[in-house]
Structure 1
Amino acid sequence: MPADLPADPETDPETTARAICLRLLTDRARTRSELAGALHRRGVPDSVAERVLSRFSEVGLIDDATFAEQWVRSRHSSRGLARRALAAELHHKGVAREVAEEALADVDPESERRKARELIDRRLRTLAVGGPEDRAKAGRRLLGMLARKGYPAGVATEVVRAALAERGADEDELGPADVG
């Protein structure tokens, strides 16, 4: 028997739906879409799910805007994700585009650039950059890391070039500057 369902099989669907939602919300905040998906997977009728989700929204247990703001703040500061990656995560979690855009407003280009530089500086502590080959290899790795975190190519290239230049790279070692 799944852990989210009450022990009594005679329990009405609304009680089951509330129990599922409350259990999921004790782990972390969830979007309305995530909870709706969980209820659907557990076989809760759509009309019951809608009633329970609406009530949870009314009392403030579900708030996609607050969820999105907290998600963006947390994932940008702790994981260093850029706007593009954060937007994709919010979309995947079912957050409406307008709500996501509002939450992403604090992640401006300067904030992205600053976070990208922090990530690069932290990673450079563990990479060999003594010679031109080492710096070229490190540059490729750093660009790949930033790309996976959703940084635009122009920002990534600019930050990596600056960090490697500070560590002795010549202009010709870094390749063309007009990427992105």
Structure 2
Amino acid sequence: MNAKRSAGEPAVDANPASTARAIVLRQLTNSPKSRHQLAQKLAERDIPRDVIQTVLDRFEEINLIDDTEFAQLWVRSRARNKSLARGSLKRELEEKGIAPELVEDALSQVSDADEDAGARALVQRKLGAAKNLADRAERDKFTRRWVAMLARKGYSPSLAFVVVGQVIDEALADEPSFE
């Protein structure tokens, strides 16, 4: 028995096409998937390559697999919910086997202004943890942390430094002075 097979998943038997269809349907029930992801899943289950191709072609034909729509949804969701920049989104889509032209089309949904706003919102959420930004050492420490956080989310270093600097300057301007 195949150890990777989950409960309720049919074994690859005399009818691998039927098994492949069941696997694809179950995968699509959990969440949208790219054609590449589904092909990998079927290959892990030892489905013959020609059967994988045929089954996935049929699912595309009836619009249950659509890499264009998948890429568009992925970018909208991840940009909004995870505040990821275009760089990270591009990497994720490439890992999912989305064609470069589809990746670029999906990324066009995220404007420079959207990216700036996302970076600013991330840093402003972290601002509450900063104790004393008037202290140069403390300010430098938080600048490094926040720029690194933005870099992990795919923001360019130049944008990260500009946004962090602006948020810190705004926070310092809003602080009451005790002179």
Alignment of 1:20-169 (within 5 A): 20-130=23-133, 131-168=135-172
Q: 1:168 to 1:92 in 2, by over 3 A?
A: same
Identity, % of aligned pairs? Answer: 43
**1:68 and 1:103 in contact (8 A); partners too:** yes
**1:128 and 1:135 in contact (8 A); partners too:** no
Query: Structure 2 regions of 5+ residues with no counterpart?
Result: 174-179
How many residues are aligned here? 168
SS at match of 1:106: coil
Q: Alpha-carbon deviation of 1:55?
A: 0.5
Q: Distance in 2 between matches of 1:45 and 1:123?
A: 50
- Letter of the structure 2 residue corresponding to residue 159 of structure 1: V
- Letter of the structure 2 residue corresponding to residue 65 of structure 1: T
Residue deviations 1:33-78 (CA, integer Å, cap 9, x gap): 0000111111000111111000000111100011111100111111
TM-score if structure 2 supplies the norm length? 0.89
Cα-Cα RMSD: 1.5
Q: 1:10 to 1:152 in 2, by over 3 A?
A: closer
TM-score if structure 1 supplies the norm length? 0.89
Residue deviations 1:138-166 (CA, integer Å, cap 9, x gap): 11100000011110111111100001111
Q: Distance in 1 between matches of 2:101 and 2:132?
A: 43
Q: Distance in 2 between matches of 1:128 and 1:42?
A: 53
**1:128 and 1:138 in contact (8 A); partners too:** no
- Letter of the structure 2 residue corresponding to residue 36 of structure 1: A
The answer to whether structure 1 residue 5 and structure 2 residue 18 are counterparts is no
Q: Distance in 2 between matches of 1:48 and 1:91?
A: 24
Q: Distance in 2 between matches of 1:129 and 1:80?
A: 26
- Letter of the structure 2 residue corresponding to residue 69 of structure 1: Q
